[in-house]
Amino acid sequence: MDDLGLSIAEYSVFASIMTFGGMIGALISGKVADIFGRRVTMWLLDLFFILGWCSIIFGKRAWWLDAGRLLMGVGSGIQLYVAPIYISEVTPKNIRGCFAAAASFTLTLGFSLAYYIGNNMNWRTLALVGASPCFIQVLGVFFIPESPRWLSKIGLEEEVEASLQRLRGGNADISTEAAEIRDYTKTVRQLSGSDFMDLFSRKYARPLIVGTGLMALVQFGGNSGISSFASSIFRAAGCSADSASRVMAVLQLPFAAMSIILTEKAGRRLLMMITSAGACLGCFLSALGFLLKDYHQPAELTSSMVFTGILLFSVSFTMGMGGTPWIIMSEILTINIKGSAGSFIALVNCFTSWIVSYAFNFLFQWNAAGIFFLFSFFCGSVVVFVAMLVPETKGRTLEEIQASMTLLQ
């Protein structure tokens, strides 16, 4: 803001335009992944990220930065879909949740690194740091096998077994798993679902409601606004923005690591409910802190309440509320609607995230306590939604989960 003289509105555009790009990426992610495969799609998203980072690194005007964020958003929208889908399709059922949570952990590691070092370096240098992993993954994608379930969908049966053998090890017996994948693919191939409007038929109602409902409620819980403007929130509460951001960055890591274990041990439903309740309490504490600040209560009390609330929200979101919906989404969608339904669900996620990130600054300036009370309400709504509609998926094959969620008859 200082370097380019951005207004609050312009800064909000810069912060939120990435989620707008995410909507574009979400729209094309499923179709691209269905046509070209999971590996090519991951390679493509890295190109979007690299182009976006380069636009920021060499940017001379504000629109260069906005263009870079938009391109990165397209990559992010694709990544939101293809990463959990690929992980769920290549991992055994007993460790599927751990692997998906481990991916969320690396995401948290990246965020924490940015929070920790972002206050100590020029923003162009920080952008260069952000671009580095993208170059590594562009090369790494060439060394991973394609999803056996996608190969089965397009009829490459010999490649299915070769991919499974490579994933499970040279001496592993893959015959049962390969047969199960082939049989289920034949069953769902007889169903409609390739067209977008087929999603809204009765047999797909439950997975679509669960996927879109989880994404919308979680995003309306406020993470996009809180994570994008954490420094501004801490500053408004009277905390040291630099110190608070560093504490938040460091504290996220052990809780993200815990999610790797808890996703399989506790299960998706319980972890989602506990962490959503924690996020609800965190937002409520922050709202109460800002409310007391408005009534001129002691600064030490109000700042400590906001600081504690934001940290509680952050660790709760990191430990399960943020990543678990993507695990569930990747598990409940049948292969014939995975592309269109996954794109739609990712689009809902990006659109609601954009609403929150764009509107946050305006609402925060208008009524800081009110916006956090609203976030608290939505986080609490996630607990109710999961309790009523979301199934437990741990320890079950994708084929078992999807058959129970979809009316195949």
What's the chain's length in residues?
A: 409
Closest CA to 352 of 80, 164, 134: 80
Q: d(Cα 270, Cα 288) in Å, to the nearest integer?
A: 27
What is the 8-class DSSP label of residue 296?
T
pTM above 0.85, yes or no: no
Per-residue pLDDT of the chain (409 residues; tens, 9 = 90+): 777 777 777 777 777 788 788 889 988 988 899 899 999 999 999 999 999 999 989 887 788 889 999 999 999 989 988 988 899 889 888 888 888 888 888 888 887 787 778 777 888 899 998 899 999 999 999 899 999 989 988 888 888 889 999 998 888 888 888 888 888 777 766 665 556 666 777 778 888 899 999 999 999 999 988 988 888 898 888 888 778 877 887 888 888 888 888 888 888 899 999 999 999 999 999 999 999 988 888 888 888 999 999 999 999 998 989 889 988 888 888 777 777 888 888 889 888 988 898 888 888 888 999 999 999 999 999 999 999 999 888 888 887 887 777 654 4
Q: 119-149 in b/e burial notation, b at 16+ Cβ within 10 A?
A: eeeeeeebbeebbeebeeebeebeebbbbbb
Domains of the chain, CATH where assigned: 8-144+193-407 (1.20.1250.20)
